[in-house]
Structure 1
Amino acid sequence: MGIRQKTDLSLPETLFTGRGDAAADRKILRLASAGQLRKLYQGVYTSNLASPPEMVVLRHWLTIVSHLLPGGVLGYRSGYDAKPVEGRLYVTRGNRPRTLELPGLTIKVIPGPGAVDGDMPYKNLFLASQSRWLLENMATGRGVSERVLPQETLEVELDKILSIRGEHRFTQLRDACRRLAHKMGREKEFKRLDGIMGALLGTHESKKLHGKQALARAAGRPYDPDRLVLFDTLFSGLRAQALPEVTATAETGVARENFAFFESYFSNYIEGTTFLVSEAEEIVFEGKLIPNRTEDSHDILGTFQAAMQAPWRDQPASSADDFLHWLKSVNALVMQSRLDKSPGEWKNQNNQAGATLFVAHELVQGTLREGFERIQALEDPLARALMTMFVVSEVHPFKDGNGRTARLAMNSVLSAAGLSRIIVPTVYREDYLLPLKSLSNHADATPYIRAMTRIHAWTVAFDYTQPRPDLYGVLKRCNAFEEDLRNYRLVFPEVKCHVSK
């Protein structure tokens, strides 16, 4: 058995002959003959004798291809990917087709013009401009399908460009493609591309489109595809869970009023609309507006009314159109005094919380409709409720009042099914918001489902028929009103409610 040569760490990992330095070429060939270099392709060697050759090629593909095909243009699907995909790379160069086979990499050389205006230098290669790779991926014919992107992928990319950059920039891109097509003799490809772009803009027939996302855009209902991935993650998680049935216990009389009062109090407190409980009682039960806080007072009152009265309390939507109308209606009620926030109107600019950017304003209605499809497909009412809350929260369709609207939408689904509504007390704020953030940022639905089923069980554990001061006392002993989340935790009423510090 021969002794395997060790990698010479003094040499670069890749070496090339044919660069015009005869002495360097002789040295490389001598080292290769001595077994100190491994040949990867004609004129391409590596000093790494330990790693699989395909791994070396993958690490250094750009340097290798730049050496083998200088001046070539990464085009077709490689112009979009800008890297090998599934071990293939497409380079436009010269006047004859050929294939270069390296360990782990097949390079398809396609005859065609070199760099044109807009193509970007990429080591000793060029990267096709956006206009060029769009046109190239519109190519059809025998043997072309392997090197072009599927039309649905192109439609998604074009929809993204239209959504992010707007119609003006989208039209500029189409004009650039038209000019380049004339220059490169790609009029046939431009005709196909123009049909797709026109359909997305609504100026051509949508029958030219193939994908669901592009068809939704053409129908005037574009949606955020990344949010649909999150919706589907939660949808699958909810379907896989056996969720508890927590029957409602505060449906009439004093119990219903008490429940609605604390639901509205805490829902506003989480959003920063903070009052003493006594002040909130004056607003809700005595019609008193707190001096200098008229808008805040109406926030509390509007949320209470939505939690108490039909249709907002217990008549959730049965269709996508009704769902959009219901959301606008309840947001208008809650935010009625904040005219600067456009109550009940879809946001007209993008919004965010911290680093979380919510759905773009032009995608709100389409994304809500897609979310509603998943809500309706869930059998369990608690699952539908939790899905509803996340969809509204994740879209954030209004300028303000999104959290309150989302929780009211969730609770309406629960009330309609005869299940207890959910109260999220101040002390549970982070236990509620952090799982939402985890779902948004990491597509992990488990913490959200766990947190919401726990607070659901906590909510129903109280006797809402008792006088409100007594109920307040029990909630207080269970730390419901505490803001110091480091030193206080949620306590269930059946446990001795002592302050834990």
Structure 2
Amino acid sequence: MTQNSDRDTAEVLFSVEDDAHARALRRLVGTGALRRIYGGVYTRNLDSPVEAVVLRNWAAIVSHLLPGAVLAYRSALEHRPVDGVLHVRRGRTRRKLELPGLTIEVFSGASAKPLLEPPTPDLPHRNIYMPSEARGFLENMGTARGAAARVLPQEDIEARLDKILTIRGDLKLNDLRDQARAIADKLDMASGSRRLDGLIGALLGTHEEKKLRSKLALARAAGKPYDPDRLELFDVLHAALADAVFAHPADPATRGTALENFAFFEGYFSNFIEGTTFEVEEAEQIVFDGTIIPNRSEDSHDILGTFRAASTTPWRNRPASTADDFLDWLKSVNALVMQARPDKGPGQWKEKRNMAGNTLFVLPEQVPATLAEGFERIRSLADPVARALMTMFVISEVHPFQDGNGRSARLAMNCVLSEAGVCRIIVPTVYREDYLLPLQRLTNDRDAAPYIRSMTRIHDWTSRFDYGQPRHDVQNQLGRCHAFKEDLKNYRLIFPENAINGG
């Protein structure tokens, strides 16, 4: 054997019967240096389960055993074995190969050869072929006896088509349909092409909706598309919130001075965390004296609008009871907060997809239905704190407006708490990363625990102040707890009972 060749380093090795290399491999099996997997297929990995070795090397193995094969049925779209089974098309004989951890089902017929010419050639991979996207969908349109066990469920097919429509647009989905029509006769899949044509037409609104089965596709056909990935994320948080037990600290600021002081600091910090920064004294002049800070008229109105929403019914304490009311409530609170920024479309759903960091939020056309689906999950939670945290995350994750999403989300959260007579939540400047990073963790890793833990802690902290004392005294107490600190490396949140005069 040649030193440093692929076969000297690969995990699986192959031979042809009766050549010198084959005899050498058989001798190595006899000495225990190799394991035989299948006729002519060996591995030098003596420790891992042989099933695991086969699955991670399936493409190399099939390339050796069945050169020229084309992936078929579910494997044609998944591009891998599914549940330990790989479907391929090759030759004139239908057969089945049984390997440890992998069954290879071989189908014959008119479609057993790869398509190598335009418009949609299959793609070579090692010594086998990955079907074009159009062929992959045709492979999964089969309805003959036994096909149901080999093809993707129609709901999954509809979800894949909806994703193409969402990301690439209707022209690309029409292109897919045209490509499938162009190759259907060559593959003897004309009936599958007609079925695919019907599904795509129903999604585009040109065919009857009754062809569709999935909730997602039916919503799309009805003009109410939603983001299915976000709904899965909402369900992760919903399950965690439903199992959690929350404290219900009483609202310490239901009227008078306490209400105004709380609403002031809630609005001040909610704007600061979004980059609308003022000195506390400037913010007081805006809210309580009607001052408009020179050259900062829009920022001044942001502070004032958030204060009004935090202190005034219906935005303070009258949350929506239906999905339609929820959408209207959101529009109205965003319009109030962003009223001085007409260029941001206050109270209007965004027209372009927005993002924060690496997170892409929901597409504009998916905003209303995704929010409505989120509301159904909010409404189903019994605990008011759970409903509040669910509310905040749904709005934050959809990001339905061009601007003011964070402020609108926190106001909606606090509205749910106020209706229940529970303390609202203030997110101070020093807690910014403790608030934002768990949200990112939930979005990216689907781990709800840090978010719930972070919000529970700041809820407890918020409830421990006397908001009925003079506003300057509230400010001093918040200051001793590092609430206003922007240096997050050197300062952390302190609870009032642990604060030392002077910080």
TM-score strictly above 0.5: yes
Give 1:33 deviation, angstroms. 6.6
1:332-371 pair list within 5 angstroms: 332-371=335-374
Contact 1:388 1:409 in 2 (8 A): yes
Question: Residues 12 and 244 from structure 1, CA distance in 2 versus in 1: closer, same or farther, beyond 3 angstroms?
Answer: closer
- State the distance in 2 between where 1:251 and 1:50 align: 67
Q: 1:91 aligns with which of 75, 88, 92?
A: 88
- State the distance in 1 between where 2:150 and 2:259 align: 64
The one-letter amino acid of 1:53's match is V
Question: Residues 294 and 205 from structure 1, CA distance in 2 versus in 1: closer, same or farther, beyond 3 angstroms?
Answer: same
- State the distance in 2 between where 1:464 and 1:12 align: 70
Question: Residues 388 and 183 from structure 1, CA distance in 2 versus in 1: closer, same or farther, beyond 3 angstroms?
Answer: same
Question: Residues 277 and 56 from structure 1, CA distance in 2 versus in 1: closer, same or farther, beyond 3 angstroms?
Answer: closer
Q: Does 1:114 align with 2:117?
A: no
Q: Does 1:462 align with 2:465?
A: yes
- State the distance in 2 between where 1:400 and 1:10 align: 59
Question: Residues 499 and 452 from structure 1, CA distance in 2 versus in 1: closer, same or farther, beyond 3 angstroms?
Answer: farther
Partner residue in 2 for 1:200: 203
Contact 1:257 1:308 in 2 (8 A): yes
Give 1:357 deviation, angstroms. 1.8
Give 1:432 deviation, angstroms. 1.2
Partner residue in 2 for 1:70: 67
Question: Residues 450 and 53 from structure 1, CA distance in 2 versus in 1: closer, same or farther, beyond 3 angstroms?
Answer: closer
Contact 2:352 2:364 in 1 (8 A): yes
Give 1:31 deviation, angstroms. 5.2
Describe the superposition over 1:397-421 as per-residue Cα deviations: whole angstroms up to 9, x where unpaired.
1111000000000011111111121
Say which SS state the counterpart of residue 13 (structure 2) adopts.
Answer: strand
Gaps of 5+ in 1: 1-8
- State the distance in 2 between where 1:193 and 1:173 align: 10
Say which SS state the counterpart of residue 461 (structure 2) adopts.
Answer: helix
Instruction: Identify which range, 374-383 or 429-438, moves more after superposition.
Output: 429-438
The one-letter amino acid of 1:40's match is I
Instruction: Identify which range, 179-188 or 323-332, moves more after superposition.
Output: 179-188
Partner residue in 2 for 1:431: 434
Give 1:447 deviation, angstroms. 1.6
Partner residue in 1 for 2:188: 185
Question: Residues 39 and 467 from structure 1, CA distance in 2 versus in 1: closer, same or farther, beyond 3 angstroms?
Answer: closer
Partner residue in 2 for 1:245: 248
Say which SS state the counterpart of residue 288 (structure 1) adopts.
Answer: coil
Give 1:128 deviation, angstroms. 0.7
Give 1:28 deviation, angstroms. 4.3
Contact 2:74 2:82 in 1 (8 A): no
Contact 1:255 1:464 in 2 (8 A): yes
Question: Residues 316 and 43 from structure 1, CA distance in 2 versus in 1: closer, same or farther, beyond 3 angstroms?
Answer: same
Q: 2:222 aligns with which of 219, 242, 252?
A: 219
Count of residue correspondences: 491
The one-letter amino acid of 1:62's match is A
1:44-83 pair list within 5 angstroms: 44-83=41-80
1:442-453 pair list within 5 angstroms: 442-453=445-456
Partner residue in 2 for 1:481: 484
Q: Does 1:17 align with 2:15?
A: yes
Give 1:393 deviation, angstroms. 0.6
Q: Does 1:373 align with 2:373?
A: no
Normalised TM-score (structure 1): 0.93
Partner residue in 2 for 1:131: 134
Question: Residues 15 and 262 from structure 1, CA distance in 2 versus in 1: closer, same or farther, beyond 3 angstroms?
Answer: closer
Give 1:305 deviation, angstroms. 1.1
Contact 2:198 2:207 in 1 (8 A): yes
- State the distance in 2 between where 1:204 and 1:17 align: 54
Question: Residues 51 and 355 from structure 1, CA distance in 2 versus in 1: closer, same or farther, beyond 3 angstroms?
Answer: closer
Question: Residues 312 and 159 from structure 1, CA distance in 2 versus in 1: closer, same or farther, beyond 3 angstroms?
Answer: same
Partner residue in 2 for 1:259: 262
Partner residue in 2 for 1:3: none
Q: Does 1:331 align with 2:334?
A: yes
- State the distance in 2 between where 1:167 and 1:330 align: 34
The one-letter amino acid of 1:123's match is R
Q: 1:152 aligns with which of 138, 155, 172?
A: 155
- State the distance in 2 between where 1:36 and 1:437 align: 48
Moved over 6 A (4+): none
Partner residue in 2 for 1:229: 232
Describe the superposition over 1:447-470 as per-residue Cα deviations: whole angstroms up to 9, x where unpaired.
211221221222222222222122
Instruction: Identify which range, 83-92 or 49-58, moves more after superposition.
Output: 49-58
Say which SS state the counterpart of residue 497 (structure 2) adopts.
Answer: coil
Give the fraction of aligned pairs with identical amino acids, expressed as a percent. Answer: 61
Describe the superposition over 1:289-332 as per-residue Cα deviations: whole angstroms up to 9, x where unpaired.
11111110110011111111121111111111111111111111
Contact 2:123 2:131 in 1 (8 A): yes
Say which SS state the counterpart of residue 55 (structure 1) adopts.
Answer: helix
Contact 1:248 1:460 in 2 (8 A): yes
Give 1:480 deviation, angstroms. 1.4
The one-letter amino acid of 1:238's match is L
Normalised TM-score (structure 2): 0.93
Describe the superposition over 1:368-413 as per-residue Cα deviations: whole angstroms up to 9, x where unpaired.
1111011000011111111000110111111110000000000111
Partner residue in 2 for 1:5: none
Give 1:54 deviation, angstroms. 2.7
Instruction: Identify which range, 474-483 or 371-380, moves more after superposition.
Output: 474-483
Task: Please tell me the root mean square deviation across aligned C-alpha atoms, in Å.
Answer: 2.0
Partner residue in 2 for 1:306: 309
- State the distance in 1 between where 2:226 and 2:251 align: 35
